[in-house]
């Protein structure tokens, strides 16, 4: 079954700028991969619970005890742009 | 179909920052007002390779909230990741809950202005993490003009509880009462600072309008940026009016999110349903499920304090307070606690309540003071024994608030003791009569009102230490 | 037939430990041996992204002083170690083989490295890998490919290709990698060394830069099975910073190493020697199975009925989790932001990601985003999770009948550079035998079992959860019996 993906919509969701050439290459590749992956639809799973993790644990938590945070210069050391002790980003447009 | 009368249908989504010592998923301190980015670590900055580990106390507190609201505590609950890109969210997903929240169902009972009570259904209460704080840098301070924004991640990862009500509210006043009741409840539980002005309690409202008697829901509008009970009530009133007018004009409303502009007193469109996010929820693989031990839940239930509603009823029943005084007192856990301890020291409840909800409340608006139950009990006792006047008591309270010194010490230091010396009082009265012959003449001509002026003169001369009733009596005696 | 005379860096950690203990060699000499080898072969291999010779020399001198003063020696003391560049190292650049993290300096050490370092291991560098560990050939690194020491025109496998090549060529005595779908076992097989993927949760993932959180494990590259046991022991155990780390006690995984396979029930995964497996690989594996039988193992064929769907489930689950884990690379807090003016933050993020990620990462981020998006979740991610449950049940049933399962690690030997680069699906098929163990969270090891056309072949031995000691015991028996000469030809030219 051929799979149609709205690549531009998905790329926007993923905040990923894609060139036209990339979209042209990706579209058939993804269709092929999804066609293969989509075969699991045929597996009977009506009464099978999903597994999110192979780990058998529950209730893993820590005590409410503070530890020293990073020194502020360490926190900002990798910042691509900063102003004072805050991270700087281009303006934010709602719904953008 | 079109035409009144109309009724609004309102549901609230409230976000509560818990006041645990540390953040939700890392051991960074959880405190308000620290310097930018000083309370961060690889986890809450979303550094590559870091992993979240839940804070047990935060889980305990959301269970407490659920128990107080009569929710079912889920036998199994999991965290989900909720995805959207925003620079104040370090991982560009929020660890939240989706179809398996910790608390399901419940109700909050609120008092209506007519004295009746109403049960407002609770849909769910779930656990998530807060985001950082973005400042839009521009000369005007408006987002649209800003060339860039600055981000501080101190609040990123602070435990956040979301409490969603059923659409059971029918007026802005009911919504206001719900928010006040929820704030009182959370305050009584001690799980949050519940300061709306600091953002530790926030609220979004969903509102639609429909013809009275209809079972169907109208088009739902979500309102954001409601920073106080007053904003909530104003925004709802505005929005109900706007929607009603639109429907009466035959317009079709569209589902959208609107922003409340407090200064302009109106809502504006933030985004329409078409722009709604596709959050791509999926189970958080880094955190195993939460399956609270029933014994732990019972332990927590035993930790529940007296809840605001029960406490109000008790204040009316046992202490004879008027319901509105009880409500004001109980809304503030600090005040309520002070009241209980003051009464325990033998102070008459109504007098204690009045001092706490009036003079002391005015002082506490400016900040925390150092007045304890012993100050209030002493103050009231000295008043009753006539050792200080009402005016002096206010001065003493102010000073106790600032210094924490015992009331008798303050009275002594500031010379606030009631003027008990009959000769001194007589002297002050005589001086006032001598200094104001015109007033004396008018009083004798039958102008009773002038007496207040003369009493005031004596009070001023004695620095407020004279008993005004005695002064009035003496004046009448001398002028009669 | 020996190829060139061995240097210190060619010896196993266990042998080096004995020599250090006897005072025959120093940590400094050992470090120099490894650093010399790196100088000699690195121009041809490209196994490292960052080399740390100064740190290594400093640390070795420090350790010699510490040991001379009577400080306790561990099996990791002084051992030249390489780390895949997806494990964070405080103060040492960590790139994930990606342009987007080209300048990233982590503020903390990964727990696995912190433990190894605390035990005295000496870091010689951070190794090349497929970008964010996504790939099976190491050709998806933003910083160029790694070459296979057995044939420089061939890939070392991936994604931990740099770690595998470095250990095979003696640049490091052992190395850590990560295994999400076979990224330790497959390159180990293609480079002729031992690759161990422990039980999910056995080794802390704190500081393992996440690709697919429910599948990721830290794994071990060594030139002997004994070393794999020693390395695992040094890094395993509960970590409070990883809520998915197991709190089970860690038995010494090398305890029963020489106990042999007599009476051990070994199950050959049904269909594992059929179509799609190169004849040479098939033959080497058959020979190895004959040897195991000769050593007293009971062989039978065991079906994993849902394993045929493992690849599909994996290519829905792994990209979905990856699309989420990689959302954080947005040019705000760390990493390389796209240059130039941006009209708003959304554009800046999209450009940063569009330019910072390579094609394979973009492919998987798009795939995962799509699989999780509204309307598709149940059909793709939801269904894949249910298939995952069935695969786990298959393993549970299999391990009621047998002690361990065996199959080829990879259906082929090392393939030529570029051969599968334009065919993602063919590349994904490289991991057909390794992926099921990640879905089930069970431990598996690849151990060299022979050659096909002069290229090494690996046998994969899989066990039930926490049975690392058992699979290593089987691997050790085979290793001892075969006695293969695993020095790659590259070393003969030195």
Which tokens is C279 given?
Answer: 């004849």
Query: Mean per-residue pLDDT for B8-36?
Result: 97
Asked if pLDDT for residue A53 goes beyond 70, the answer is yes
Residues of chain C with Cβ-Cβ distance to A22 below 8 Å are 359, 362
Q: How far is C5 from chain A (nearest CA, A)?
A: 45
pLDDT above 90 as % of chain C: 93
The span from the first CA to the last CA of chain B, in angstroms, equals 76
CATH of the domain at C462: 3.90.1300.10
Reduced to 3 states (helix: H, G, I; strand: E, B; else coil), residue C69 is coil
Binding partners of B (≥3 Cβ pairs within 8 A):
A, C
Quote the domain boundaries for residue C120.
Answer: 8-267+400-493
The answer to whether the Cα torsion of C266, C271, C274, C277 is positive or negative is negative
Query: Mean per-residue pLDDT for B346-357?
Result: 93
Asked if pLDDT for residue B137 goes beyond 80, the answer is no
Reduced to 3 states (helix: H, G, I; strand: E, B; else coil), residue C439 is helix
Residue in C315, C349, C373 nearest the CB of A13: C373
Residues C396 and C306: their CA atoms lie apart, in Å, by: 12
Closest among C131, C187, C123 to C458, alpha carbons compared: C187
> Is the CB of residue C162 less than 8 Å from the CB of residue C82?
yes
pLDDT of residue B388: 87
Query: Mean per-residue pLDDT for B134-138?
Result: 82
Is there a contact between C312 and A36 if contact means CB atoms under 8 Å apart?
yes
Q: Which of C136, C183, C204, C245 is catalytic?
A: C183
ipTM value > 0.90: yes
Higher pLDDT pick, A4 / B384: B384
pLDDT of residue B141: 53
B84 and chain C in contact, CB less than 8 A: no
B431 and chain A in contact, CB less than 8 A: no
Is there a contact between C344 and A92 if contact means CB atoms under 8 Å apart?
yes
Total number of domains constituting chain C: 1
- The per-residue pLDDT for range B56-99, each reduced to its tens digit, is 999 999 999 999 999 999 999 999 999 999 999 999 999 999 99
Q: What is the SS3 assignment for chain B?
A: CCCCCEEEEEEEEEEEECCCCECCCCCCECCCCCCCCCCCCCCCCCCCCCCCCCEHHHHHHHHHHHHHCCCEECCCECCEEEECCCCCCCCCEEEECCCCCCEECCEEEEECCCCCEEEEEEEEEEEEECCCEEEEECCCCCHHHCCEEEEECCCCCCEEEEEEECCCECCHHHHHHHHHHHHHHHHHHCCCCCCHHHCCEEEEEEEEEEECCCCCCCCCEEEEEECCHHHHHHHHHHHHHHHHHHHHCCCCCCCEEEEEECCCCEEEEEEEHHHCCCCCCEECCCCCCECCCHHHHHHHHHHCCCCHHHHHHHHHHHHCCCHHHHHHHHHCHHHHHHHHHHHHCCCCHHHHHHHHHHHHHHHHCCCCCCCCHHHHHHHHHHHHCCCCCHHHHHHHHHHHHHHCCCHHHHHHHHCCCCCCCHHHHHHHHHHHHHHCHHHHHHHHCCCCCHHHHHHHHHHHHCCCCCCHHHHHHHHHHHHC
Residue in A11, A36, A80 nearest the CB of C335: A80
Asked if pLDDT for residue A62 goes beyond 50, the answer is yes
Asked if pLDDT for residue C255 goes beyond 90, the answer is no
For residue B421, name the pLDDT band (cuts at 50, 70, 90).
confident
C73: Cα within 13 Å, side-chain hemisphere: 23
Least confident of B420-429, C127-136, C404-413: B420-429
Q: Which of C12, C33, C75, C84 is catalytic?
A: C84
Higher pLDDT pick, B476 / B166: B166
Reduced to 3 states (helix: H, G, I; strand: E, B; else coil), residue C290 is helix
- The per-residue pLDDT for range C276-302, each reduced to its tens digit, is 899 999 999 999 999 999 999 999 999
Which tokens is B36 given?
Answer: 């930018």
- The per-residue pLDDT for range B306-318, each reduced to its tens digit, is 999 999 999 999 9
C-proximal residues of A, 7-46, CB under 8 Å: 7, 10-19, 22, 25-26, 29-30, 32-34, 36-41, 43, 45
Site of tokens 């009972």? B109
pLDDT above 90 as % of chain B: 68
Least confident of A35-39, A52-56, C286-290, C423-427: C423-427
Residues C345 and A91: their CA atoms lie apart, in Å, by: 6
Residue in A7, A61, A90 nearest the CB of C342: A90
Reduced to 3 states (helix: H, G, I; strand: E, B; else coil), residue C312 is helix
- For an interface test with B, give the residue of A57, A62, A74 to mutate (most B CBs within 10 A): A62
B48 and chain C in contact, CB less than 8 A: yes
Asked if pLDDT for residue B473 goes beyond 90, the answer is no
pLDDT of residue A96: 44
Residues B40 and B44: their CA atoms lie apart, in Å, by: 6
Query: Mean per-residue pLDDT for B362-366?
Result: 84
Which tokens is A19 given?
Answer: 């060139």
Asked if pLDDT for residue A2 goes beyond 80, the answer is no
Least confident of A35-44, A74-83, C181-190, C321-330: A35-44
- The per-residue pLDDT for range B227-274, each reduced to its tens digit, is 999 999 999 999 999 999 999 999 999 999 999 999 999 999 987 766
Is there a contact between C373 and B280 if contact means CB atoms under 8 Å apart?
yes
Residues B307 and B310: their CA atoms lie apart, in Å, by: 6
Domain membership flag for residue C277: no
Is there a contact between A54 and C440 if contact means CB atoms under 8 Å apart?
yes
CATH: 3.20.20.80, 1.10.10.410, 2.120.10.30, 3.30.43.10. Which one for B422-479? 1.10.10.410
For residue B332, name the pLDDT band (cuts at 50, 70, 90).
confident
Across chain B, mean pLDDT equals 91
Residue in C201, C369, C388 nearest the CB of A51: C388
A61: Cα within 13 Å, side-chain hemisphere: 19
Structural domain spans, chain A: 7-42
Helix, strand and coil percent figures for chain C, each rounded to 5: 40, 15, 45
pLDDT of residue B124: 98
B297 and chain A in contact, CB less than 8 A: no
Higher pLDDT pick, C407 / C494: C407
Residues of chain A with Cβ-Cβ distance to C107 below 8 Å are 70, 74-75, 77
Active site residue C159: yes
- For an interface test with B, give the residue of A6, A57, A86, A93 to mutate (most B CBs within 10 A): A86
> Is the CB of residue B161 less than 8 Å from the CB of residue B127?
yes
Residues B458 and B469: their CA atoms lie apart, in Å, by: 11
pLDDT of residue B116: 85
Residues with Cβ within 8 Å of C110's Cβ and at least 6 positions away in sequence, in order, are: B49, C83, C87, C88, C89, C204, C206, C207, C208, C218
For residue B1, name the pLDDT band (cuts at 50, 70, 90).
very low
Across chain C, mean pLDDT equals 96
Residues of chain C with Cβ-Cβ distance to B47 below 8 Å are 88, 106-108, 333-334
Comparing alpha-carbon positions, the chain B residue that sits nearest to C380 is B282
Binding partners of A (≥3 Cβ pairs within 8 A):
B, C
C362 and chain A in contact, CB less than 8 A: yes
Residue in C316, C332, C346 nearest the CB of A93: C346
Residues of chain A with Cβ-Cβ distance to C335 below 8 Å are 78, 80
Query: Mean per-residue pLDDT for A35-57?
Result: 92
C482: which DSSP letter?
H
pLDDT of residue B153: 98
A92 and chain C in contact, CB less than 8 A: yes
Structural domain spans, chain B: 6-296, 306-414, 422-479
Which tokens is B352 given?
Answer: 């204690």
B57 and chain A in contact, CB less than 8 A: yes
Active site residue C410: no
pLDDT of residue C4: 52
pLDDT of residue B480: 74
Residue in A13, A75, A94 nearest the CB of B271: A94
A72 and chain C in contact, CB less than 8 A: no
Residues with Cβ within 8 Å of C396's Cβ and at least 6 positions away in sequence, in order, are: C464
The span from the first CA to the last CA of chain A, in angstroms, equals 34
**Chain A residues with a Cβ under 8 Å from any Cβ in chain B:** 13, 15, 52-53, 55, 57-67, 69-70, 72, 75-76, 83-95
- State which H helix or E strand residue C220 sits in: strand C217-222
Residues C9 and C36: their CA atoms lie apart, in Å, by: 9
Least confident of B41-55, B443-457, C114-128, C406-420: B443-457
Asked if pLDDT for residue A34 goes beyond 70, the answer is yes
Active site residue C126: no
Query: Mean per-residue pLDDT for B19-36?
Result: 97
Residues B346 and B348: their CA atoms lie apart, in Å, by: 6
Residues C363 and A18: their CA atoms lie apart, in Å, by: 11
- State which H helix or E strand residue C300 sits in: strand C298-302
- The per-residue pLDDT for range C438-491, each reduced to its tens digit, is 999 999 999 999 999 999 999 999 999 999 999 999 999 999 999 999 999 999
What are the φ and ψ backbone dihedral angles of C419, each rounded to 5 degrees? Answer: -60, -40
pLDDT of residue C2: 42
């Amino acid at each position: 079954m051929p799979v149609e993906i709205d690549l531009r919509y998905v790329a926007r969701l993923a905040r990923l700028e894609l060139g036209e050439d990339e979209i042209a290459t990706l579209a058939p590749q993804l269709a092929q991969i999804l066609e293969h992956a989509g075969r699991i639809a045929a597996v009977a799973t009506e009464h099978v619970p999903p597994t999110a993790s192979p780990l058998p644990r529950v209730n893993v938590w820590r005590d409410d005890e503070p530890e020293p945070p990073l020194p502020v210069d360490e926190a900002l050391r990798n910042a691509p742009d900063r102003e004072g002790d805050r991270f700087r980003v281009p303006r934010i447009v709602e719904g953008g | 179909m079109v035409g009144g009368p109309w009724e609004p249908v309102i549901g609230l989504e409230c976000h509560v920052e818990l006041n645990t010592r540390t953040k939700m998923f890392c051991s960074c301190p959880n405190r308000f007002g620290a310097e930018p980015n000083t309370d961060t670590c690889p986890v809450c900055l979303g550094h590559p390779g870091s992993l979240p580990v839940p804070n047990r106390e935060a889980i305990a507190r959301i269970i407490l909230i659920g128990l107080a609201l009569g929710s079912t505590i889920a036998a199994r609950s999991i965290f989900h990741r909720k995805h959207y890109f925003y620079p104040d969210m370090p991982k560009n997903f929020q660890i939240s809950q989706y179809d398996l929240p910790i608390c399901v169902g419940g109700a909050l009972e609120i008092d209506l202005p007519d004295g009746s009570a109403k049960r407002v259904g609770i849909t769910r209460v779930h656990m998530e993490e807060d985001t950082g704080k973005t400042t839009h840098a521009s000369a005007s301070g408006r987002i649209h003009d800003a060339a860039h924004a600055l981000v501080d991640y101190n609040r990123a990862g602070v435990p956040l509880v979301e409490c969603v009500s059923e659409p059971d509210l029918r007026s802005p006043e009911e919504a206001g009462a719900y928010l006040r009741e929820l704030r009182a409840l959370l305050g009584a539980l001690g799980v949050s600072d519940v300061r709306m002005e600091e953002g530790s309690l926030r609220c979004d409202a969903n509102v639609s309008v429909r013809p009275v008697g209809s079972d169907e829901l109208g088009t739902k509008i979500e309102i954001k940026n409601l920073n106080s009970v007053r904003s909530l009530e104003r925004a709802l009133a505005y929005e109900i009016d706007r929607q009603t007018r639109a429907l009466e004009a035959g317009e079709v409303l569209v589902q959208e999110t609107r922003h409340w502009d407090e200064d302009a007193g109106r809502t504006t469109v933030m985004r329409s349903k078409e722009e709604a996010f596709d959050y791509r929820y999926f189970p958080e693989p880094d955190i195993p499920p939460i399956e609270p031990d029933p014994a732990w839940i019972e332990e927590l239930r035993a930790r529940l304090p007296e809840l605001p509603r029960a406490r109000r009823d008790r204040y009316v029943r046992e202490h004879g307070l008027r319901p509105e005084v009880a409500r004001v007192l109980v809304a503030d856990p600090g005040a309520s606690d002070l009241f209980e301890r003051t009464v325990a020291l033998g102070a008459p409840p109504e007098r204690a309540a009045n001092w706490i909800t009036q003079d002391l409340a005015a002082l506490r608006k400016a900040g925390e003071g150092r007045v304890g139950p012993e100050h209030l009990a002493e103050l009231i006792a000295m008043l009753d024994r006539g050792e200080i006047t009402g005016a002096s008591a206010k001065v003493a309270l102010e000073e106790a608030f600032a210094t924490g010194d015992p009331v008798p010490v303050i009275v002594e230091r500031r010379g606030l003791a009631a003027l008990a010396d009959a000769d001194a009082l007589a002297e002050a009265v005589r001086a006032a009569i001598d200094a104001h012959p015109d007033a004396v003449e008018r009083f004798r001509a039958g102008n009773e009102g002038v007496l207040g002026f003369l009493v005031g003169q004596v009070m001023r001369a004695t620095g407020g230490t004279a008993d005004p009733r005695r002064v009035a009596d003496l004046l009448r005696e001398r002028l009669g | 037939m020996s190829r060139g005379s061995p240097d210190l860096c060619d010896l196993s950690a266990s042998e080096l430990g004995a020599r250090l203990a006897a005072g025959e060699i120093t940590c400094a000499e050992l470090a120099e041996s490894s650093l010399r080898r790196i100088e000699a072969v690195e121009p041809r291999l490209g196994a490292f992204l960052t080399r740390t010779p100064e740190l290594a020399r400093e640390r070795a001198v420090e350790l010699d002083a510490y040991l001379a003063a009577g400080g306790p020696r561990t099996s990791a003391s002084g051992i030249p170690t390489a780390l895949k560049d997806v494990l964070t190292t405080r103060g040492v650049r960590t790139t994930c083989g990606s342009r987007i993290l080209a300048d990233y300096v982590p503020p903390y050490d990964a727990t696995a490295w912190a433990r190894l370092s605390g035990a005295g291991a000496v870091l010689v560098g951070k190794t090349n890998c497929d970008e964010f560990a996504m790939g099976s050939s190491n050709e998806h690194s933003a910083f160029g490919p790694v070459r296979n020491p057995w044939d420089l025109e061939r890939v070392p496998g991936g994604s931990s290709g740099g770690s595998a090549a470095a250990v095979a060529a003696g640049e490091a005595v052992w190395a850590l990698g990560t295994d999400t779908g076979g990224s330790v076992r497959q390159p180990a097989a293609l480079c002729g060394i031992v690759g161990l993927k422990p039980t999910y949760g056995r080794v802390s993932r704190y500081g393992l830069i996440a690709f697919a959180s429910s599948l990721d494990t830290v794994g071990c590259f060594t030139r002997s099975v004994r070393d794999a046991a020693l390395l695992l022991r040094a890094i395993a155990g509960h970590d409070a910073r990883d809520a998915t780390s197991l709190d089970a006690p860690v038995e010494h995984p090398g305890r029963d190493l020489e106990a042999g396979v007599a009476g051990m029930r070994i199950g050959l995964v049904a269909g594992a020697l059929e179509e799609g497996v190169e004849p040479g690989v098939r033959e080497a594996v058959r020979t190895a199975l004959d040897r195991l039988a000769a050593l007293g193992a009971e062989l039978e064929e065991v079906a994993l009925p849902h394993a045929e769907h493992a690849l599909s489930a994996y290519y829905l689950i792994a990209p979905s989790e990856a699309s989420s884990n990689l959302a954080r690379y947005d040019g705000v807090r760390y990493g390389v932001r796209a240059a130039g003016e941006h009209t708003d933050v959304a554009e800046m993020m999209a450009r940063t990601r569009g330019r910072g990620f390579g094609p394979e990462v973009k492919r998987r981020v798009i795939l995962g985003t799509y699989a999780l998006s509204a309307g598709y979740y149940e059909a793709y991610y939801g269904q894949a999770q249910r298939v995952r449950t069935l695969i786990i049940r298959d393993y549970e049933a299999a391990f009621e009948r047998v002690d361990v399962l065996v199959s080829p690690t990879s259906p082929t030997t090392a393939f030529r550079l570029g051969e599968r680069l334009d065919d993602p699906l063919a590349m994904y098929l490289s991991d057909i035998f390794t992926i099921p163990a990640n879905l089930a969270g069970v431990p598996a090891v690849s151990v060299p079992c022979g050659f096909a056309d002069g290229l090494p072949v690996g046998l994969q031995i899989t066990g039930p959860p926490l049975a690392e000691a058992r699979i290593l015991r089987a691997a050790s028996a085979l290793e001892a019996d075969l006695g293969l000469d695993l020095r790659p030809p590259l070393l003969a030219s030195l």
